[in-house]
Amino acid sequence: MDLETLTLGQYNFIQNAFSFGLAVMGAATLFFWFMRSEVAPAYRMAITITGLVTAIAAYHYLQIMLSWQGAFQVSHGAIETTGAQFNQAYRYVDWLLTVPLLLIELILVMKLARGETISKSIWLGGAAALMIALGYPGEIAETGGTRFTFWILSMIPFIYIVYQLVVGLKDSIRKQPENVRGLINGAAYLVVISWLFYPIVFLFPLVGLTGGAAITAVEVGYTIADIMAKAVFGILILVIAMRKSEHEQVKA
Amino acid sequence: MDLETLTLGQYNFIQNAFSFGLAVMGAATLFFWFMRSEVAPAYRMAITITGLVTAIAAYHYLQIMLSWQGAFQVSHGAIETTGAQFNQAYRYVDWLLTVPLLLIELILVMKLARGETISKSIWLGGAAALMIALGYPGEIAETGGTRFTFWILSMIPFIYIVYQLVVGLKDSIRKQPENVRGLINGAAYLVVISWLFYPIVFLFPLVGLTGGAAITAVEVGYTIADIMAKAVFGILILVIAMRKSEHEQVKA
């Protein structure tokens, strides 16, 4: 990244976006863990993990924010780079953990048969980890060719996951209580839509988008996508768990 | 802001106000979350969010205070600016999150029908987020004209929210149990009155109020308005939730 091209306004906007990300993830974590006691025991693991995902993200937004502050010095209204690196790879460390977990959230809140829960968690979670692990070498690659190669490789598990969410889960969703079917579908589509941002952004450097405006778009965009995929998605999971708890109590 | 115009006394007064804000918000958070178990389950989400609002504000008062300390150096009774910027935009990051949430607190504690709760939360919360997002470009603008333009734009959702609180909620408030009707009205008016401070302060630089005394008035005023709108407002929400819990227990 050409950090030298950033204006003070862009630097500040990104810093504020990181701080916003940290605040959202931290607040979401506390919210999920407080609301955990309000769902039936069968859904508490799902809500615990929902909060874990945002807790892990809060930690990484803190790391990202500190790394960002260290890479720049602002003095008397002028901005310059310090030469310290901005470690964007913290995002990959975060995703390696949180992306499999948030797919597992969705599987757990559906309360499928035990065998199906385990196999779906392993397959979807494994594909998600593979997708992130294959993106990382591309992110740190020196050449555009290597970046593009790993983009292609990473897209294979990505497409598998999208297929599973949109088509593979259809039967299981049909068996869910009627009052949450739409919400579960919504959660699956929220994952797919918010995830589309990542592979597109990944290609930015290949098409010459590297200046201050591009960096701002990427960092702010990642932050918004993360908030959608983790905090907003988590709220959907919580609402699903609450409605299912209610539904089962009425039936019992 | 002309930070150079501040006297040591003004610097200290503002520093103490920020520290006061942090202490109030932190204490309020713990209070709300401890009291959460004392209200009926139907009101626990409202009280959880009440504590989240003050927790998020506590985080931002810490950030604001650290940024403030970094912008000045005090030595042997003399004060000078360090050249580091005072990031006042943390306030906007805070409001973007907390202002929608505190309107949602009020809606949740009223325990309306599910559809009404969702639609009111989306409309009021969305308008609040829009109001803050439109204020930010004005706050960081270089020219008075831009500042004023965004003030006008931001006032549109502001007036919508005030109208909704004062007129739109009237019917719903009339259906509340009699022992909390006055308190809910009071909470709605507290929001409206404490919020009046923000758009007025926003115009200060346009009318030439920029020196040390103006900065002190703005920062201390924002802090007081924040405490009214979040901690004092939160206490009203808690009292409403406790009375309604009591009332429903008696009826049951």
Cα–Cα distance, A6 to B120 (Å, whole number): 40
The string of pLDDT tens digits covering residues B59-72 is 999 999 999 999 99
Residue B80's DSSP bridge partners are B73
What per-residue confidence (pLDDT) applies to B155? 96
Chain B: residue nearest A26 by CA? B56
The string of pLDDT tens digits covering residues A181-208 is 999 999 999 999 999 999 998 888 888 7
Which tokens is A89 given?
């790879």
Q: What predicted TM-score, i.e. pTM, was given to this entire model? A: 0.93
Provide the Cα torsion A8, A13, A14, A20; round to 10°.
150
What per-residue confidence (pLDDT) applies to B210? 79
Pairing of strands A72-75, A78-81: antiparallel
Contact residues on chain A for B85, CB-CB shorter than 8 A:
12, 74, 77
Which of B33, B43, B52, B142 is best to mutate for the A interface (most A CBs within 10 A)? B52
What per-residue confidence (pLDDT) applies to B168? 87
What per-residue confidence (pLDDT) applies to A1? 67
Burial label for A135, CB within 10 Å (0-12, 13-18, 19+), is buried
Which tokens is A19 given?
């701080």
Predicted ipTM of the assembly: 0.90
Give the H/E segment covering residue A104: helix A90-110
Could you list the mean pLDDT of each consecutive 10-residue stretch along chain B, which spans 252 residues? 89 97 98 96 96 98 97 94 91 95 95 93 96 91 89 96 91 91 94 91 83 90 95 97 91 69
Contact residues on chain A for B94, CB-CB shorter than 8 A:
23
The string of pLDDT tens digits covering residues A130-171 is 999 999 999 888 888 999 999 999 999 999 999 999 998 888
Which tokens is B98 given?
């907390």
Question: How much of chain B is in helix, strand and coil states, percent to nearest 5?
Answer: 85, 5, 15
The string of pLDDT tens digits covering residues A61-118 is 999 999 999 999 999 889 999 999 999 889 999 999 999 999 999 999 999 999 999 9
Judged against a pLDDT cut of 90, whether residue A231 lies above it is answered with yes
Contact residues on chain A for B90, CB-CB shorter than 8 A:
16, 19
**Under DSSP, is residue B73 helix (H, G, I), strand (E, B) or coil?**
strand
Which tokens is B32 given?
């709300």
What per-residue confidence (pLDDT) applies to B143? 86
What per-residue confidence (pLDDT) applies to A252? 67
Cα–Cα distance, A223 to A231 (Å, whole number): 11
Minimal Cβ distance to A23: which of B41, B48, B56: B56
Q: C-alpha B192: how far from its chain's center?
A: 11
What per-residue confidence (pLDDT) applies to A247? 87
Burial label for A192, CB within 10 Å (0-12, 13-18, 19+), is middle
**Under DSSP, is residue B252 helix (H, G, I), strand (E, B) or coil?**
coil
Cα–Cα distance, A1 to A9 (Å, whole number): 17
Cα–Cα distance, A30 to B32 (Å, whole number): 13
**Under DSSP, is residue B239 helix (H, G, I), strand (E, B) or coil?**
helix
